[in-house]
Amino acid sequence: MTMRVASLCRYPIKSHGRERIEQVTLSAGKTMPLDRMWAVTHEATKFDTASPAWASCRNFMRGAGTPGLAAISATLIEETRTVTLSHPDLDDITFRPDDAVDVVRFLAWVAPLCSDDRAGPRDIVSAPEQGMTDSQFPSVSIMNVASHDAVAKHMQTPFDIERWRGNIWLEGLPAWAEMDWIGRDLRIGDAILRIRERIQRCSLTNANPTTGVRDTDTLGALNTHFGHQDFGINAEVVTSGPLTTGAPAELI
C-alpha cells in the first residue's frame, strides 16, 4: 500500500478541543495554520502578555492534569476566528477567543471540567509568531496508524486515535517505521517536512477522548511492550504546500 495521509487534525485552543479537517496549506517555518493558536493560562502561568511569545506547556491548562478536557471537540470558523466547543457533559459554546467578554463566558463554561485542587483557568492568550505546540520550534506532529494499532493490540482493547492528538496521520507504512526518520525529509503532496524528534507522551493519553475519563494505562503499555514512552514524531515544514486527506507521502 502506498503511504498516504489518512486524516488531518488541528487543535485551535491548546488542550481544549480537536477538529478534523480535510485540507490545509502548510507554510515553511510555521505550525499547521491555527493549530494551538490559543492557549488557556492558569493561576501559576508565567506568560508575558506585553510581549507574547511561545511558552512551555506547563504554563497552560492541559489534559494531563485535567482529563475532562480530553473530551472537548472543536469547530473553527477561520474568517471570523470563532470557535464552537462541545463536550458530552456540557452545552455547546460558541465564542471568539480574541474577545475579552467572550473569554469570560468560556471560563465559566470550562470551570466544571476543572478540579478545585489544581490551578484553575484564568485567560486565553496567543503568540503572533508561533502556535503553542509542546516543542520549542514551530512543529507539525505526524502519527502512524499502524503504530496506533500495535499499541491497541498489546492493550487488547480498541481505542481512539484522538488520544494521541496528532496533526497528520499516515497509513501504508509498518508500525514504528516513523521512529527511524529523525533527520530525514518527508514529502506529503507538495509540502516537505523535516523530521526533528520523537514525541514523548504524557498521561493525557490515558484519558478517553469521548468521555474525558482516565480509563487506560497507555503509558504503561508503551513502556512495558515497546521499551519507550514515545508515540509520533515532530517535524518542521521546510517547503510550503497544500495537504489533503489521501495525499501521497514519501521519504526523500
Question: pLDDT tens for residues 192-248?
Answer: 999 999 999 999 999 999 999 999 999 999 999 999 999 999 999 999 999 999 999
Is residue 49 exposed (0-12), middle (13-18) or buried (19+ Cβ within 10 Å)? exposed
Question: In terms of domains, do 43 and 149 share one?
Answer: no
pLDDT of residue 224: 94
pLDDT of residue 159: 86
CA 140 to CA 188: how far, in whole Å?
12
Question: Of 102, 125, 148, which residue is a domain's last?
Answer: 125
Whether residue 182 sits in one domain with residue 152: yes
Residue 55 above 90 pLDDT?
yes
So what's the pLDDT on residue 183? 98
pLDDT of residue 189: 93
The number of distinct structural domains making up the chain is: 2
pLDDT at 118: 79
Instruction: Give me the domain span that covers residue 92.
Output: 39-125
Where among 70, 105, 125 does a domain terminate? 125
One-letter amino acid at 148 equals: H
Query: What's the predicted TM-score (pTM) here?
Result: 0.96
pLDDT tens-digit map of 175-189: 999 999 999 999 999
Average pLDDT value for the chain: 95
**Same structural domain for residues 12 and 53?**
no
Q: Are residues 107 and 151 in the same domain?
A: no
Place of cell 518542521: 236
**For residue 91, how many other CB atoms are within 10 A of its CB?**
7
pLDDT band of 158, cuts 50, 70, 90: confident
